[in-house]
Amino acid sequence: MKVSFIYTPKQRVNKCYYTEKIWKNYSENAILLPHLGMAYLAALLKKKGFEVQLIDANVLNLNEKDIQKRLFDFKPEYLLFTSITDNFRDTLWWIRCIKKMYNVPAIIGGPHMELYPKETLGYDCIDYGVIGDGWETLPELLSALDNKKPLSDIKGLCFRKDGEVITTEKRPKTVSLENVPFPARDLLPNDKYDTVLSKKCPITTMITALGCPFRCTYCCTDTVIRSRSAKHIVSEIEECINRYGIKEIVFYDETFTIDKARIFEVLDLIEGKKLNFLWSIRTRADCVTKEMIDRMAKLGCIRINYGIESADEGILKSIRRNIPLSVIKNAVRWSREAGITVFGFFMIGLPDETKQTVEKTINLMLELDLDFVQLNKFVPIPGSEVYEQIKNETGEDFWRDYTLGKVNLEDFKPYKINLTPQELDHYLEKGYKAFYYRPKYIWRKLIAVRSFKELYRMASAALSLK
Ligand code: B12
Ligand code: SF4
């Protein structure tokens, strides 16, 4: 059987997180990263004997006609799409458009399907939905369709029967990342991926563990961790370097350093095998030690992204993110002393936010010795504790209505804050300007610039904030 995964074009962050000006900057620097979920499933299906095409229409910047040509050349029997809630309406637009040109059944998976499966299958152009992990459900679905077997016994599925949307029994998330083949990077245009901050190309992304146990109230990540062994991780790193010539890896685990023993094992193996590559991680300030940071820097880690979020203790407590300021300061200092670039994530517009708490957050952003910051407006993610609370209190389910096409992203209203939307926008721009336009900061960045490309990117990003 032939199937085509299509990562739809023009992936970008949504406007509701920023002001128009700042969003323009972000959307100009489009998301140019591989979709690992699709690449994983593609590898698995290939291993099971399927003929698989993976069209990354996003990074290749393909238009309707380009996609149509690729599909007519390959002739798949099923089209496979992915979606997160934020980009569902864009994905839907593309599914409709692609099916007008090449009409075979469409299967959709991804985080959005876990949240609004019934609403999603309400659209006729979507034929089947995979809820949650795709590793077992997708091959079972394709095999059942091929053999004309009933679908109702397959767990984690959503489909229509006699005009009614059926969801089957939930599929438990038990598959370990160790039991599936490495992502099919042989099907990806690896030389096209890039980020504003990457130093060496080609780059790729990797996941060493799924889930995070911390339960911050604004997050909807699985709380059970499914992690890979150090040996398994390093073997994928070796494949990236030796088979695909990868020079830089962005690790997208939610909290890369959560299991300290495992990280030291990974570092030992990288050192022992003399693996030469640059890499970056995301983690929490309370999950690193000075010893760990020093070793990571020695072995190629060039950037750490820390979620700092707010400077107000009351807000931090209410979102269950009690990392003391002293711990954050130490982590940032250790990282910079080790020569690692430090990126801080902050949010404004959380419930109970006031002008004073926003100003505190902006001051902290300036006070910490950070290289880059991302400051965005808080938008509750469906499935998170905060979102459930807002839903219960207001009786409104914004993301459901958005899925059904009843509201647009521009209709999103911040909840329970003591600032107007205009004030929030004012502070967002003020925060960005205050951070990126400091003379000390500009000077430090200019002397660290290594190439024209880097200088151009920095200058264009800075100018777009004006
Ligand atoms: C890497 C990443 C990114 C990268 C995107 C890279 C890329 N090209 O995809 C960057 C940093 C750019 C990014 C941006 C954003 N992201 Co993001 N991101 C992730 C992250 C950390 C890892 C994704 C990953 O590789 N997972 C591992 C793979 C194996 O899992 P998977 O993709 O989910 O696939 C599995 C299933 O979902 C399913 N599946 C997926 N696709 C398909 C397709 C078919 C046909 C089938 C059958 C099954 C299937 O099967 C797969 C295997 O089991 C996830 C969190 C996480 N751990 O998953 C968040 C996550 C996907 N992001 C999220 C969000 C909210 C965003 C942003 C909106 C954030 C922001 N405020 O700007 C933007 C949106 C940008 C965009 N248009 O995508 C949310 C989505 C929540 C939701 N309700 O949809 C997540 C889940 C994080 C979270 N818990 O909040 N993100
Ligand atoms: S926000 Fe980060 S630390 Fe908190 S639960 Fe989510 S992934 Fe874990």
Q: Are strands 157-161 and 128-130 parallel, antiparallel or unpaired?
A: antiparallel
> Using CA atoms, how far apart are residues 255 and 326, in angstroms rounded to an integer?
19
Task: State the pLDDT at residue 13.
Answer: 86
Residue 135 sits at φ, ψ, to 5 deg, of: -55, -40
Task: State the pLDDT at residue 373.
Answer: 94
What is the arithmetic mean of pLDDT over 199-203? 94
Q: What is the mean pLDDT of the chain?
A: 94
- Decide: 35 in ligand 1 pocket, CB within 6 A: yes
Contact predicate 276/300, CB 8 Å: yes
Which one, of 36, 34, 17, lies nearest residue 26 by Cα? 17
Confidence of residue 410 (pLDDT cuts 50, 70, 90): confident
Ligand 1 centroid–CA 422 distance in Å is 30
Contact predicate 79/65, CB 8 Å: no
- Decide: 221 in ligand 2 pocket, CB within 6 A: yes
Task: State the pLDDT at residue 175.
Answer: 95
List pLDDT tens digits, range 115-160: 999 999 999 999 999 999 999 999 999 999 999 999 999 999 999 9
Contact predicate 465/25, CB 8 Å: yes
pLDDT at 260 over 60: yes
- Please name the amino acid found at residue 196: V
Ligand 2 centroid–CA 104 distance in Å is 39
Task: State the pLDDT at residue 465.
Answer: 53
Percent of the chain with pLDDT over 70: 96
pLDDT at 460 over 70: no
List pLDDT tens digits, range 297-337: 999 999 999 999 999 999 999 999 989 999 999 999 999 99
pTM passes above 0.75: yes
Q: What is the DSSP letter of 123?
A: S
Contact predicate 464/19, CB 8 Å: no
Average the pLDDT over each of 227-236, 340-349, 408-417 and give the range with the smallest value. Answer: 408-417
- Please name the amino acid found at residue 410: E
DSSP-based three-state secondary structure for 373: strand
> Using CA atoms, how far apart are residues 307 and 216, in angstroms rounded to an integer?
11
Domains annotated for the chain, with CATH where assigned, are 2-167 (3.40.50.2300), 197-463 (3.80.30.20)
Ligand 2 centroid–CA 222 distance in Å is 10
pLDDT at 7 over 60: yes
Average the pLDDT over each of 332-336, 399-403, 459-463 and give the range with the smallest value. Answer: 459-463
- Alpha-helix runs per DSSP H in 116-258: 117-121, 137-146, 230-244
- Decide: 3 in ligand 1 pocket, CB within 6 A: no
| Crossing angle of the two packed helices 88-101 and 64-74, in degrees rounded to 10 | 60
% helix / strand / coil in the chain, to the nearest 5?
Answer: 45, 15, 40
**Alpha carbon of residue 379 to chain centroid:** 15
Ligand 1 test: best mutation among 17, 82, 94, most atoms within 8 Å of CB? 82
> Using CA atoms, how far apart are residues 345 and 309, in angstroms rounded to an integer?
6
- Decide: 220 in ligand 2 pocket, CB within 6 A: no
- Decide: 213 in ligand 2 pocket, CB within 6 A: no
> Using CA atoms, how far apart are residues 166 and 157, in angstroms rounded to an integer?
8
Ligand 1 centroid–CA 337 distance in Å is 32
List pLDDT tens digits, range 202-252: 999 999 999 999 999 999 999 999 999 999 999 999 999 999 999 999 999
List pLDDT tens digits, range 421-445: 999 999 999 999 999 988 888 877 7
- Decide: 409 in ligand 1 pocket, CB within 6 A: no
